[in-house]
């Protein structure tokens, strides 16, 4: 049982969409799946945020500054322009995942602590929604 929970946490660190179905495949209770996937998702957010900024500073010491062109279109840019940090944190986490949202936010020079807070809200909401949908789907299938 412990290895199954650790597997769910490890999968959720990278992608919640793989962790929740794995939890149902392991026949764990929805509460354990929710708690494990939430823990893994939050770990992924914190690792991406704080280890990512550490790597960025380390690389920045040895790299010459270039003039960067910002993209003129794209889903993430539209979310950023319309909803700001909250949209990037919550909507970005709900759609593409926490670590990717953190990476994009760091690219947009968003304050990391503020972005981490909203990404955590997105991770918790995403895990709750998809665990609920998985449980309803399993009941509909008769399992």
Q: Give the 3-state secondary structure of the chain.
A: CHHHHHHHHHHHHHCHHHHHHHHHHCCCCHHHHHHHHHHHHHHHHHHHHHHHHHHHHHHHHHCCCCCCCCCCCCHHHHHHHHHHHHHHHHHHHHHCCHHHHHHHHHHCCCCHHHHHHHHHHHHHHHHHHHHHHHHHHHHHHCC
**pLDDT, tens digit (0-9, with 9 covering 90-100), for 15-55:** 888 999 999 999 999 999 999 999 999 999 999 888 876 77
Distance CA 99, CA 81 (A): 20
Instruction: Look at residue 126 in the predicted model and tell me its pLDDT.
Output: 93
**pLDDT, tens digit (0-9, with 9 covering 90-100), for 2-24:** 999 999 999 999 888 899 999 99
Look up the pTM and report it.
0.83
Q: Which two tokens stand for residue 44?
A: 């992924």
Instruction: Look at residue 73 in the predicted model and tell me its pLDDT.
Output: 62
Q: What range defines the domain where residue 35 resides?
A: 2-141
Q: Which two tokens stand for residue 117?
A: 């807070």
Q: What's the chain's length in residues?
A: 143
Instruction: Look at residue 5 in the predicted model and tell me its pLDDT.
Output: 95
Q: Which two tokens stand for residue 92?
A: 């970005």
- Total domains in the fold of the chain: 1
């Amino acid at each position: 049982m412990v290895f199954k929970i650790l597997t769910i946490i490890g999968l959720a660190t990278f992608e919640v969409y793989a962790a929740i179905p794995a939890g149902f495949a392991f026949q764990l209770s929805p509460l354990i799946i929710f708690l494990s996937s939430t823990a893994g998702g939050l770990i992924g957010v914190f690792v991406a945020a704080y280890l990512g900024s550490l790597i960025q500073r380390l690389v920045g010491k040895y790299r010459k500054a270039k003039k960067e062109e910002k993209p003129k279109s794209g889903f993430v840019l539209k979310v950023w322009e319309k909803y700001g940090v909250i949209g990037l944190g919550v909507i970005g986490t709900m759609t593409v995942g926490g670590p990717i949202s953190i990476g994009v936010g760091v690219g947009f020079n968003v304050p990391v602590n503020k972005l981490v807070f909203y990404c955590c809200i997105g991770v918790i909401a995403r895990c709750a929604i998809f665990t609920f949908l998985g449980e309803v789907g399993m009941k509909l299938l008769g399992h």
